[in-house]
Chains A and B, each alone.
Chain A
Amino acid sequence: MSAMLLAQQILNGLLDGVYYLLIALGLSLIFSLGGIVNLAHGAFYAIGAYLTLVISPYLGFAGAFVAAPVAVALLGMLIELTLFRRFYRSDPILSLLMTFGLAMVAEQALRMIFGAPPLSYSIPTWLRGQVAIGSFIYSFYRVVLLAIAATCIAGLWLLLQRTSFGRVVRAGVQNPDMVGALGISLQPYMSAVAALGIGLAGLAGVLLAPIYSIHPAMGQEIITPAFVVVVIGGLGSFWGVVAAALLVGLVKGVMVGIGYSAASTAAIYLLMLLVLLFRPRGLFGERILRFE
């Protein structure tokens, strides 16, 4: 294999990792603040993709790009208000079972509404084509996708670091009792974080609908790698999750590139095992007292 192709595979792997990131960041945020492992996160991604199909005929892809994540975020807020809220103080295994059940209900609901066979959806004409970055020819759609994802990630980081909202959320992650003692109720922040995290999953669904097969179980395909990313990155660490997503994408891409594609999925689990052995808190995981 030429050095050129290896360079392409590395770049492509990093880009691939960015898709996991949209799912993993929300997963990490909801877990860090509420202690809920949201196994239904993949289902919201699937709902985002199906909503794209429903909305596009009326508002086009651009319309779906705005409307679908907002709709999914509102659904997320509703789920937080009615379900998540009851589990913040209970044994985490209960919330795990609840979200697992929620994922199954959502998948079956999609199956009942849209049918089990996969549905077709294509990249809109104005986003098709190839771009040349030097001698590296790449899909224009994926470059757009990268730009959107990078904007979202930067926006989320600014929101968490530079706003009073972000400061309360970060304090809530570290020490919810102290936040309470200071007279700040975390409840509205929890709703906002759930809406934000779940909305991002919905956005990932919109962005990937044109290039992935759209079927009711598509959420299952993405939740496991996203979960691996969160574990590798470390709980509570924004940049840890970012680094882990890029690393997972890179490892997968390079394994395919060097001819070991059959082991490409196994490799990310091996990576997780190694990280857990040597850095049990994940790559950049912070020491959060209540999670120890």
Chain B
Amino acid sequence: MSDHSQITRRGLLKSAGGIALLSGISAPAILRAQTAEVIKIGHLTPRTGFLGPLGEYAVMAVDLAVEEINASGGMMGRKVEVLKEDSVNPQTASTKAERMIERDKVACIIGEISSASCLTIAQVAQRNKVLYINTGGNSDALRGSDCKRYMFHVESQNSMYVKTVGRSFLRDGLVKGKKWYSLTADYAFGHDLLKVSKRFMEANGGNFAGDDLVPTDATDFSAYLLKIREAKPDLVVINLAGNQITNFLKQYAEFGLTFPVGGFGFDTALAWAAGKGNFVGTWPVVWHHLVDTPGTKAFVGSFSKKYSKPPENQAWGDYISTKIVAQAVNELKSTDSTKIIEHFEKGAKFDLLKTRPGYFRASDHQLMHEMYAVTALPADKIKNQWDIFASSPAVPGPNEDLEVIAATKEENTCTFPT
């Protein structure tokens, strides 16, 4: 064992720094041979990190959508090809969007979950005049102060989430004169959601008891749970994201806390991961696999057949966005982003697998559509690992305007930069 390793303490620390840099790099996508006939679509979404589990559903869904589009004649009779990349973080997302547009000449970019990355992709799209459809970034700011003419939002804005589930909280008497305590994901999405939550709760007479910002990589919530127990709130509001929600739910059950829980942001996969008995409370979703319409049944059927599990709401976002683009291109007989944008702004209607079709609101490019509030079922009423909640009817109801849950012009102002 002579001349054992030559490592030094300083060398070790330097190497550790190198690793931090290395971990930002992800594998490049394998590009297929280019042909002039193929129409390319760029897809960017986080596939690693705390949002990675949701990104995987997005990828499965966009693959399914493209498969179906190609099987029914493609776009303008041309085959569609999707280039998929892990967006990793806002900086990498921007670089990859740039490369997709300049080198691969994609017709549009679809995807994303992180609000912070949505913004950097939108900046690239705007500069290059290429359509970008946001499928998972919730921040109101993306539809307000940061809005862009070339960015459209299939994902609902935070205001829509808050007003949808807010109706359930009001109905259950959890707002007026009641004390609420929140945990908020410490990045763009969480900060924006906390602002919107406060506006809603204050307007309806709730008493704010406190908030803790939670780092996105936090796994242990025991310190927060002790604070919540001490504060004795009437409602615990969860403004967390990704794995944070699963970790919170598992540990909330572990600590035996019973204050009513509700979230203003949510993804079904996180409830499935928390599992029966741990998943509690009432939460808003853009869509879920139990929506009772023929469109949803067909989508859930083909998705389950291909992947042996039902789709969750992020899958709906990327699936429906790809279908919207295909429909618009086929109707317009053009892949020109400027023409597609005009078409969207004129109020073109799209089937969203729900009870009524939706459209993009011209003033901020937000998709106007129905949402749902889901409530965890008690453990003894759960039959399988997927159907663990009961859903409210569609919000807004059949006799209401779709815009009633969206942010008003006063709440969130968008002036498209020219």
Q: How large is the interface on B (under 10, 10 to 19, 20 to 34, 35 or more residues)?
A: 35 or more
- Nearest CB on A from B378, distance (A): 15
Chain A interface residue number, banded: 35 or more
Residues of B at under 8 Å CB distance from A?
Answer: 1-9, 11-13, 15-16, 18-19, 22-23, 47-49, 52-53, 55-57, 186, 212-215, 217-220, 222-224, 226-227, 229-230, 243, 246-247, 250-251, 253-256, 269-270, 272-278, 309, 312, 385
- Enumerate chain A residues within 8 angstroms of B254, measured Cβ to Cβ: 123, 128, 139, 141-142, 210-211
Contact present for B227 and A256 (CB under 8 Å): yes
Shortest Cβ distance from residue A152 to the other chain B in the assembled complex, whole angstroms = 19
On chain B, the residues within 8 Å of A93 by CB distance are: 11, 15, 18
* B223 adjacent to A257 (CB under 8 Å): yes
Asked if residues B3 and A231 are in contact (CB atoms below 8 Å), the reply is no
Closest 7 A/B residue pairs (Cβ): A120-B275, A35-B5, A116-B56, A118-B273, A92-B7, A256-B223, A213-B246
Contact of B273 among A117, A220, A252 (CB under 8 A): A117
CB distance from A128 to the nearest CB of B (A): 8
Contact of B230 with A16 in the complex, beta carbons under 8 Å? no
Q: How far is the CA of A8 from the CA of B309 in the complex (A)?
A: 42
Compute how far the CA of A211 lies from the CA of B309 in the bound complex, rounded to whole angstroms.
Answer: 24
Residue of B nearest to A230 (CB): B12
Q: Indicate if the CB atoms of B1 and A122 lie closer than 8 Å.
A: no
Q: Does A34 contact B (CB under 8 A)?
A: yes
List 28 A–B pairs whose Cβ atoms lie within 8 Å, in order of A's numbering: A9-B226, A12-B222, A12-B223, A12-B226, A15-B222, A37-B12, A88-B4, A92-B15, A100-B19, A117-B56, A117-B273, A118-B243, A118-B272, A118-B273, A120-B273, A120-B274, A177-B2, A180-B1, A212-B250, A213-B246, A215-B52, A222-B219, A227-B16, A231-B16, A256-B224, A261-B224, A291-B7, A291-B9
7 additional A-B pairs beyond A92-B5, A117-B273, A210-B254, beta carbons within 8 Å, are A37-B16, A116-B55, A212-B247, A213-B247, A290-B4, A291-B8, A291-B9
Report whether B19 and A39 are in contact in the complex, using a CB–CB cutoff of 8 Å.
yes
> Is there contact, CB below 8 Å, between A100 and B7?
no
Contact B220 A130 (CB under 8 A): no
Chain A residues in 8 Å Cβ range of B19: 39, 96, 100
| Contacts A5-B230, A262-B215 given; does A213 touch B223 at CB 8 Å | no
A111 and chain B: residue at smallest CB distance: B56
Closest chain-A Cβ to B389's Cβ sits at a distance in Å of: 14
- Do A264 and B53 touch (CB < 8 A)? no
In whole angstroms, what is the CA distance A256 to B220 when docked? Answer: 11
A-side contacts of B22, CB under 8 Å = 100
The distance from the CB of A69 to the nearest CB of chain B, in whole angstroms, is: 20
A151 on the interface (CB 8 Å rule)?
no
Partner of B2, one of A5, A180, A227, A265: A180
Q: Are A186 and B52 in contact (CB under 8 A)?
A: no
A283 shortest CB reach to chain B, Å: 14
Q: Which residue of A lies closest to B15 (CB)?
A: A96
Within A260-289, the residues touching B (CB, 8 Å) are 261-262, 264-265, 276, 280-281
